[in-house]
Structure 1
Amino acid sequence: MEAKVSPSIARAKAELLAGGAVRIPQDFRLPFLPSRSTAGPGAGSTAAVFSFGETRAKKSISRDEGDFELSLDENGMSILRNGEVLIAGVKIVPTVYHAPHQAFINIDSSCVMDCKFCATPRLNDGITKNLTDQKIMSMIEDASKKDDFLSVSFTSGVPSTPAMTVKRMAGLVSATRTLLPRTSIGVEPYATRPDEIEMLRSAGADEIKLNIESFDRDIFDKVCPNRDFDIIMHMIIHASEVFGKNRVSSNIIYGLGETDENVLEGVSVLANTGAVATLRALRRNQYNISELERILGALVPVTADRMLHLAEEEKKILQSHGLTTLEFKTMCHLCLSCDIVPFWDV
């Protein structure tokens, strides 16, 4: 199956994702408010989503410095690297909440899991949003009135116990399903019991994301000290039975010292359960890199070549299992902005 974008655009996107911030002109006024995410790879940064060649990339932005530069002229916007055009025909697109076309809500930024790559619980109170359920539902109702709105997604830290977090998420899913009966809803919980998966499905969730994070067990134990690898795998298997084909996904983060073979073994294991891996390059930032390198040693930054190679190999594995990223209607495979997405970008 041909990708939605050209190889040259996929290469440019990978180069952009592998690099640092985009510097924007001091006098340039963004057409939309920037995104200030409290979850995901861009947590803690001020970012914008750049659209080009039928794909998107979400990048941190700065008025002062960056690996890339946004250039404006009579022909529109381009992204430059070292003074040369990397991507022409760029547009800045709005995020509904956190992502284009989605109200992707982080229910709670506090978390006891202490995953070493995650910036979310390390953000200060000025960045986190301390949302009540009432406020979240008001945000979703407002988002649903926007022309570019397509779906609702929920993620969350674990402020006390996984069970309490899932229960709160299920309540919000149920309220959203009542408010928006025909809207796709995705959930990204840390679930530890089969009945929690069933609770979310019964509440009205259409898709679920259960993150295994790393298939290297030694790395997993070091970077996810309060999570259980085997429980997560059992939840993924059960979720595939409950939600069905092309409705279950799982992050595999690479750039933590694992091999490509290990990453692709993880893709295959997930595919055997009916789940689709979301391959995500580690985002090195002020919140995670010192602790990660303390426990893992020096880490090699992920290159564009590695991003493209792993995505191309994942596509082959998914095809052999009759799986695709293109059927997802919520969360990361719809967003496109943080990863090289098989079937879309390659």
Structure 2
Amino acid sequence: MEWKRLKARVLETGSVRLSGESSDEYVSRSAAGPSAGTPGSLFFSPGGGRRVRAGVDDNSPIEVVHRGGGAADLLIDGESVAGRLEPAALHCPRQAYITVSGTCIFRCRYCPVPELPGRRKEVGEIVRMVESVADRIDAVSITSGVASSIEEEEAYVIDVVAALRPFDLPIGVSIYPCPGTPARLHALGVAEVKFNIETATPELFSEMCPGLSWEGVRESLSSSVALFGRGRVYSNVIVGLGETDEDLERVMEDLAAGGVIPVLRPLTPAASLAGMPRPSAERLLSLFEVHGRILRRAGLDPCRALTMCAACTGCDLTPGRDA
């Protein structure tokens, strides 16, 4: 079975069960997003710059057998794929992807973070975290909840970014923006930004992210392209919140036409959406083809990504990388 179909099946299931040799050094845990508070996840790579991230679950129908030293086999639907477990530097391979504030005053319906006992990391602590993995990373990526206010969070993240500039690595930032956020991040030398519209329609956004502004995020994305350049601005769009494929095609066309690379993120059921199904492999594969056509027409290539999700690709089917 070709890689994109295998990966779609893993994303549909969302998990693998681990067997074989001890894999503790390859299991990482998230402080933000829908995977926060779970037993952890791992990255499996068949080589060629491709990888998939999956949660660890003893009841998963998909198995990863660790043969030792990182060598592993992915057993899925009667197929066996040889590859390797990739150690996460911080959160993902080859990056220090750090959550600044693991708490949030907003309550997006798909996100468990507001219910978790998260905390804000000190600036010096973040610098030390990057120092600890500096010999095995190519980029630093920063994301954050909103601890007290959008404006205060941005100011704190700017302090973090300023403290990380001496590492001389590309820095990507994904936070909830307010007016002027793109310009302030650009002035600091940030390489790429990701502001997430999350949903395919503004109506869904109002339902899923009460108190936040879909149009505000869209405006920040538009102003970012003029600063960072086409293909250096990204936006997550979650698949599986009740939107149609036509809704997703429309929003992808719109984002790409403006120079923004949409990142299609399969829903991880959590928080008040814990009972929702994950999107099917068939739907993900169909959207993958549409996504690729849209990006090619717009002259956008996720393979050029330096930071964040588009550089990792573990959680999403990514045109140009997964085939």
- TM over 0.5, shorter chain: yes
Structure 1 residue 41: Cα displacement: 4.4
Structure 1 residue 325: Cα displacement: 0.5
Q: How many residues are paired up?
A: 319
Structure 1 residue 40: Cα displacement: 3.5
Q: Contact 1:187–1:208 at 8 Å: present in 2 too?
A: yes
Matches within 5 A, 1:95-114: 95-114=88-107
Change (3 A) 1:98 1:129: farther
Structure 1 residue 311: Cα displacement: 1.6
Distance of 2:146 and 2:306 partners within structure 1: 25
Q: Is 1:35 equivalent to 2:23 in the alignment?
A: no
Q: Contact 1:9–1:53 at 8 Å: present in 2 too?
A: no
Q: Is 1:23 equivalent to 2:17 in the alignment?
A: yes
Name the structure 1 match of 2:266: 281
Q: Contact 2:106–2:146 at 8 Å: present in 1 too?
A: yes
Normalised to the residue count of structure 1, the TM-score between the two structures is 0.87
Paired letter, 1:280: R
SS in 1 for 2:88: coil
Normalised to the residue count of structure 2, the TM-score between the two structures is 0.93
Distance of 2:13 and 2:226 partners within structure 1: 39
Q: Is 1:89 equivalent to 2:82 in the alignment?
A: yes
Paired letter, 1:339: D
Q: Is 1:331 equivalent to 2:308 in the alignment?
A: yes
Distance of 1:135 and 1:31 partners within structure 2: 23
Aligned alpha-carbon RMSD (Å) = 1.9
SS in 2 for 1:245: coil
Q: Contact 2:238–2:266 at 8 Å: present in 1 too?
A: yes
Structure 1 residue 201: Cα displacement: 1.1
Name the structure 2 match of 1:180: 167
Distance of 1:38 and 1:164 partners within structure 2: 20
Q: Deviations over 1:235-290 (max 9, x none)?
A: 110011111111100000010110001011111111121100000110113x3424
1:157 to 145, 153, 164: 145
Paired letter, 1:71: V
Q: Deviations over 1:76-107 (max 9, x none)?
A: 5322246x23x411211111100110000000
Structure 1 residue 319: Cα displacement: 1.1
Change (3 A) 1:216 1:33: same
Name the structure 2 match of 1:247: 232
Name the structure 2 match of 1:318: 295
Paired letter, 2:148: S
Distance of 2:26 and 2:261 partners within structure 1: 32
Name the structure 1 match of 2:63: 69
Q: Contact 1:20–1:67 at 8 Å: present in 2 too?
A: no
2:196 to 205, 211, 220: 211
Q: Is 1:116 equivalent to 2:93 in the alignment?
A: no
Distance of 1:131 and 1:222 partners within structure 2: 30
Distance of 1:33 and 1:333 partners within structure 2: 21
Distance of 2:237 and 2:263 partners within structure 1: 6
Distance of 2:287 and 2:268 partners within structure 1: 16
Q: Contact 2:13–2:278 at 8 Å: present in 1 too?
A: no
Name the structure 2 match of 1:3: none
Distance of 2:233 and 2:16 partners within structure 1: 33
Gaps of at least 5 residues in structure 2 are none
